Amino acid sequence: MTTMLIHHEIFAAHRTAAGHPERPDRYRAVEMALAQSRFDDLLRVEAELAELDVTRYVHSNAYVDALEAARPTDGFVYLDGGDTMMEPSTWEVVLRGVGGTLQAVDSVLDGTAQNAFVACRPPGHHAETERAMGFCLFNNISIGARHAQLKHGLSRVAIVDFDVHHGNGTQEIFYSDGSVVYASTHQMPLFPGTGATDETGVGNIFNAPLRAGDGGDELREAFRDRIIPAVDRFEPELIIVSAGFDAHERDPLGSLSMTADDFGWATRELMAAAERHCEGRLVSVLEGGYDLQGLRESVSAHVDELVRG
């Protein structure tokens, strides 16, 4: 089994205001984790710059055009209160995040790699059709899913999200689209306030909210009772993972109690589902994770399982 790592030094360039949790050190922590000798066999590829038009697969023309027009030449432009911002390097950073996601999808579907991990920042799963929010500008995962359908002819793509925050953007984009299943574990109540079990779309949305303090036992229950059965019924041709590690017990932005071992377990379950339904084809894209030690440990456990197959 070949695991592809898609990365680029530009992902450490997107700066945020002082004290902001979505900071360049996040990418450096991931790079440090994956520099360990046990990851020497990763197929390492630099993220390409996406064409802007691919973002229109899931975002409106008005939104994409306004975001492009908002690019600053210096300082910060704030898009979502104080949470989501752009500075001069941000445009290239987010387009390489999209480009890396598309490369991962292409490589897994053409057989170059069995699975792939895209080590990009900022995250993307809060970005809606017409709104940037929650640190996110473009919804990498959603663009990747639509790309798999439009370029490769897939009819069923499953997205599984284990970030501590609900992926409201991904849910909104596919809420009325039965060709994509979105299944999420997340803390609730917590930002962004979505993700209740009665948010079901056209029967393609499966939310499994967790309570503050929940840990590995509750994650396993949610996967076994709701997440994996939903994926199995759907029989996807590709699984894409919103790999957020801010459910870790050390993370400052949530109150769940996951450990790196829990993320490793979840990864094994998703890989087993991929083996059952889509010849092991799985793409994982980094979302949250804001404690650097927790992020390093969790990414290591996640990619360990991808490599082991």
Length of the chain: 309
Percent of the chain with pLDDT over 70: 100
Tell me the mean pLDDT in the region 70-85: 93
Phi-psi region of 58 (alpha: psi -120 to 50; beta: other; left: phi over 0): alpha
User: Average model confidence (pLDDT) for the chain?
Assistant: 98
Catalytic residue numbers, as ranges: 126
Per-residue pLDDT reduced to its tens digit, 114-130: 999 999 999 999 999 99
Per-residue pLDDT reduced to its tens digit, 18-48: 999 999 999 999 999 999 999 999 999 999 9
* DSSP characters over 126-168: T-BTTB-BTTBSS-HHHHHHHHHHHHH--S-EEEEE-SSS--H
- Asked if the model's pLDDT at residue 156 lies above 80, the reply is yes
Tell me the mean pLDDT in the region 182-206: 98
**Cβ density class 248-266: b for 16+ within 10 Å, e for less:** bbbbebbbbbbbbebbbbb
How high is the pLDDT of residue 73? 95
Pair 196, 207: CB distance under 8 Å: yes
φ and ψ at 54, to 5 degrees? -65, -25
Total domains in the fold of the chain: 1
Q: Where does the pLDDT of residue 112 fall: very low under 50, low under 70, confident under 90, or very high at 90 and above?
A: very high
Q: Which domain holds residue 75?
A: 3-308
How high is the pLDDT of residue 114? 98
- Asked if the model's pLDDT at residue 246 lies above 90, the reply is yes
- Asked if the model's pLDDT at residue 1 lies above 90, the reply is no
Pair 143, 95: CB distance under 8 Å: no
Asked whether the whole model's pTM tops 0.95, one would answer yes
Tell me the mean pLDDT in the region 199-204: 98
Q: Which amino acid is at 193?
A: G
Per-residue pLDDT reduced to its tens digit, 92-109: 999 999 999 999 999 999
How high is the pLDDT of residue 184? 99
CATH number of residue 85's parent domain? 3.40.800.20
How high is the pLDDT of residue 81? 80
Tokens of 202: 């056209």
